[in-house]
A and B are shown apart, each in its own frame.
Chain A
Amino acid sequence: MSNPRPRQAVLAVRGKHVTKVNDVVIKIATVNGTGSASANGLLRKSIFRMGVPVVGKNYFPSNIQGLPTWYEIRVTGDGYSSRADRVDVMVAMNAQTYARDMADVVPGGWLIYDSTWPRSGLLNRDDITIIGIPLSRMCNEHFEGARSRILMKNIAYVGAIVALLDVDLDVVTQLLEETFAAKKHLVDANMEAIRLGYDFARENFPCPLPVRVEKMDKTKGHIVIDGNTAAGLGAMYAGATVGAWYPITPSTSLMDAFRNFCAKYRVDPETGKRTYAIIQAEDELAAIGMVLGASWAGARSFTPTSGPGISLMSEFIGFAYYAEIPAMIYNVQRVGPSTGMPTRTQQCDLISCAYASHGDTRHVLLFPGDPAECFSMSPVGFDLAERLQTPVMMLTDLDIGMNDWMVPELEWDDAYVPDRGKVLGAEELEKIDKFYRYLDVDGDGIPYRTLPGVHPKGAYFTRGSGHTKLGAYTEDSAEYQEVLDRLLVKWETARKLVPEAEIRYSKFNKAAILTIGSGDGACKEALDRLQQQKVGLNYCRVKAFPFTDAVRDFIDKHEVVYVVEQNRDAQLRTLLINDIDADQRKLVPLLHYNGMPLHAGFVVERVLEEIAKGQAA
């Protein structure tokens, strides 16, 4: 193989550079289906291993091959968890999006491109530095086969970035050795590709750039994980034995994770038999039907889905509310309405989940703020579903579910015992005279239930039609209303059992930010930035619906509450007004709903705008 020296690239430094250490945003533009994900992951993980906090965001198309996709690595020594609102270093590997990728770079930033092909017509910014590296040519010279050349081109740009940003090459090497522990030849090939990019950059450009990475000690005790993996793991730890689902972006990887964990930890080593059932249903209607059947028969059961799935499940969700059957539903929200943008993020199903189904229904919702909470709230969700005998929906979103978040290591309390709720066993049934399914014996609105196959006295007829507190069919007004009113008692019990909101309060602040789920990171970063501008705000992140008394008190104590959420119609604000009668004049909606994850810059800008408006008025 010939190995001519690459021609000398000319680096014309343009724009006013700022020296920044461990505060850099790298965005990599590629074509989907070219295997760039593992290369990008290698870079992200290498920086994390250097002890520097990172955020990984994937902006990908609803497509298998050929459309533009981006991966963004935010290196954040301050440990912020949301996406950045700028790009310092763009790796423009996709000719389709070259022009707009270049436009995205901050003045004084850098653009790396594959200089195998001339791009002179496109190099039209004079305030950024363009770095050309002949990636394709080098890889074509060093690797055989089209697929291998494409894959190694990705690894080669990682090599260049390693040199340009001063990422520790030893860490990269070690990661590759771990990844391909069983395949030595792959370690060698990948290292060769790394060195192609690395050496070319070192030989032709002043390395490192003024923005660079430096070892820290801020990732100890942390992991980088996505929410779907964490939720799948949480479902296994909660003791789920039946999972039913219909594949839908962006929830699919949740069941994949559950399946992978179960394949390892839920197979009898002697017989090879499984202690879990995963059923791929024909649609979401069937998936939720299976969950209800399994829960009714006594198994911990769940389904992962996204907005369109909730629409299809709604009839059954109402049934479960009225017939009082536990169900755990994960809704990894994506952009609606309708098919919307399946690979973009939003918090747009708050109302459709809170009141899913016809008739008077309301459902317990959980709102984790990051993957760690997807894990820790999973057993909470299963416990609440069985304690309250009702569907519980955990609402995450694509940003939490599919992006890479640095979170504290997950912890598990071995003393955990599942709360299976009020279930009468054979001995208890033997002792009682007669069992009635919907009696409020304890005054908390939660009746006792029985499982089939336990005792003849436990038998009852589960129905979605009008029923009395004894469980019998009825069309009598008073008997019907008695049960419907008792469900409201149960709702108030739920209010006391759901996870408490996260609250930061100082009596000196008269205004506050209130947010939900994945808004957490951007809002906390915004609080810091606003504080630097002498704008002090309190903070509340709700973690569940119904809203707790603490949320009500929090709103009461403030003159203005900026409700930050990721949908067009201020759905969280509507729920606050509806559920706890919050004063709507205080609740100022700050709405971000373009499909990209929320960032701090948006929150800061909108809060300052609202303050200015208030002062003008």
Chain B
Amino acid sequence: MTYIAKPKVSHPSLRKNELGLTKRDYEGAVSTLCAGCGHDSVTAAIIQAVFELNIEPHMMAKMSGIGCSSKTPAYFVSQAHGFNSVHGRMPSVTTGANAANRELTYIGVSGDGDSLSIGVGQFVHAIRRNLNMCYIIENNGVYGLTKGQFSASADIGSKPKKGLANQQEPIDPASTALSLGATYIARSFSGDKEQLVPLIKGALMHRGFALVDVISPCVTFNDHEGSTKSYSHTREFYHHVTNIDYIQPSEEIRASYEAGEAMPVELHGGEVIVLRKVDNQYDPTSRASAFGYLRDRFNAGEITTGLLYVNEHREEMHELMGNVDTPLAKLPYEGLNPGSAGLKQIQARYR
């Protein structure tokens, strides 16, 4: 029914956020993805997250590359500019846009093909720059639009619908991001909205590169027996290492948390994410232990989810470059060159 225009009516009793907007105001066009696609659940989680964060729709920028996942920015926040770029190149476009206007909230939606195969170079380098953005990978292990080829995140032994099982080592976006110095790394599951929404909220408010790797099953090409990215496999093997609550600055923060169990992390805007550890051994502020833990659990066949790593102390791209606070796109032209008098001085050395 995707050819039917979405009616723009909302019930008067719908809950409003601080801007007086309802969740309907954060919706987009009707999805054209397959019925039951995990990506549509991620879209719904994004809508809920930005609604609850009271983000002005036009102060967001929705970025993507090519693939099923990259179509989804059309399906949320229609009052925000969207940039559906070329395959694997969303990070560079976002880098440029952010360089020009640092006031916007950047959300990039990508897939495992877009980010881990054709675009792995750009994914890696956006992390190194600590680009201030929320980067969501809707990870399903296959190429959907070209009908079911393995992607680089397919696990060894995972079976396709037809043909031989995958034999190549998968690229794990979370541990890759960890090794490159990403400052907020989360993993979740499209079927676990309770966990996913606060993780996206934290990612949006984090200052720096925030990765949310979401296992998001492809119902058409990778949801069968023997696939390691199916709904049933993910439900069986995924486990929470941390749970988080996202608390806005205006909200009251609970007085105490039981030591070793809960850990508040203050974000730059004054927001707090409270990490509730499921595994007491886990330290999400240590790159080394996070890395070891992820590897061990991966080898045991588990899918570790939650906020895996967070570092609120590293400078983001503009700070690293020493840029003015005013967005570069908004600087008045008058101050940008020394005029004809300056040009005379400059040329002295060429005489």
Contact = CB atoms under 8 A, between A and B. Distances in A.
Nearest to B325: A273
B81 A460 contact: yes
> What is the predominant secondary structure among interface residues of chain B facing chain A?
helix
A279 B324 contact: no
Contact of A464 (B84, B335, B337): B84
Given A224-B350, A273-B322, A410-B347, A266 B97 contact: no
Q: Which of B74, B79, B333 has the most CB of A within 10 A?
A: B333
A579 interface: no
Contact of B350 (A223, A289, A454, A463): A223
B100 A297 contact: yes
A412 B344 CA distance: 9
Contact of B89 (A225, A271, A289, A418): A289
Nearest to B318: A277
Interface string A291-312: 1111111110100000000000
B263 interface: no
Interface in B131-177: none
B79 A459 contact: yes
Interface string B82-117: 111110010111111111110110000000000000
B253 interface: no
Interface in A326-354: none
B98 A293 contact: yes
Given A239-B337, A299-B329, A462-B84, A273 B323 contact: yes
Given A223-B347, A261-B346, A462-B84, A293 B92 contact: yes
B122 A452 contact: no
Given A277-B318, A293-B93, A458-B58, 10 more contacts: A223-B351, A242-B99, A265-B342, A273-B323, A282-B121, A285-B92, A290-B92, A297-B97, A316-B86, A462-B85
Contacts of B89: 285-286, 289, 316
Interface string A94-120: 000000000000000000000000000
9 contacts: A277-B99, A279-B129, A296-B100, A298-B330, A410-B343, A451-B101, A452-B58, A452-B80, A455-B58
Contacts of A412: 337, 339-340, 343
B328 A242 contact: yes
A290 B82 contact: no
B83 A275 contact: no
Given A233-B346, A273-B325, A241 B336 contact: yes
A322 B329 CA distance: 23
A417 B350 contact: no
A577 to B, nearest CB: 31
Contacts of A417: 333
A289 B57 contact: no
Q: Which of B93, B121, B342 lies at the interface centre, i.e. has the most chain A CB atoms within 10 A of its CB?
A: B93
A287 B129 CA distance: 14
A442 interface: no
Interface residues of B, number: 58
Given A293-B95, A452-B97, A461 B84 contact: yes
Contacts, number: 219
B122 A286 contact: yes
Interface in A219-273: 222-225, 233, 236-237, 239, 241-242, 244, 261, 265-266, 268, 271-273
A281 interface: yes
B328 A413 contact: no
Contacts of A279: 95-96, 99, 129
Interface string B60-87: 0100000000000110001111111110
The 9 closest A-B pairs by CB, nearest first: A293-B96, A289-B92, A290-B96, A299-B100, A298-B329, A452-B81, A293-B97, A223-B350, A294-B96
Contacts of A298: 100-101, 329-330
A410 B349 CA distance: 13
A444 interface: no
B255 interface: no
B314 interface: no
Interface centre among A282, A295, A409, A465 (most CB of B within 10 A): A282
A456 B335 CA distance: 29
Contacts of B97: 293-294, 296-297, 452
B331 interface: yes
B125 interface: yes
Interface residues of A, number: 73
Contact of B336 (A266, A287, A301, A315): A266
A373 to B, nearest CB: 15
Contacts of B100: 241-242, 293-299, 301
A202 interface: no
B324 A292 contact: no
A453 interface: yes
Nearest to A49: B351
B34 interface: no
B338 interface: yes
B339 A463 contact: no
A319 interface: yes
A159 B325 CA distance: 53
B322 A272 contact: yes
User: Which of A295, A453, A461, A462: most chain B Cβ within 10 A?
Assistant: A453
A282 B89 CA distance: 12
Nearest to B84: A463
B1 interface: no
Contact of B333 (A239, A295, A455): A239
A274 interface: yes
A413 B340 contact: yes
Contact of A409 (B59, B79, B94, B347): B347
A265 B346 CA distance: 11
Centre residue among A271, A283, A292 by max chain B CB count within 10 A = A292
A294 B85 CA distance: 13
A275 B331 contact: yes
Nearest to B88: A285
Contacts of A438: none
| Best-surrounded residue of B73, B96, B328, B351 (most CB of chain A within 10 A) | B96
B268 to A, nearest CB: 18
A553 interface: no
A319 B86 CA distance: 8
A276 interface: yes
The winner among A287, A455, A461 for most chain B CB atoms within 10 A is A461
Contacts of B14: none
A242 B96 contact: yes
B6 to A, nearest CB: 13
Contacts of A275: 323-324, 328, 331, 335-336
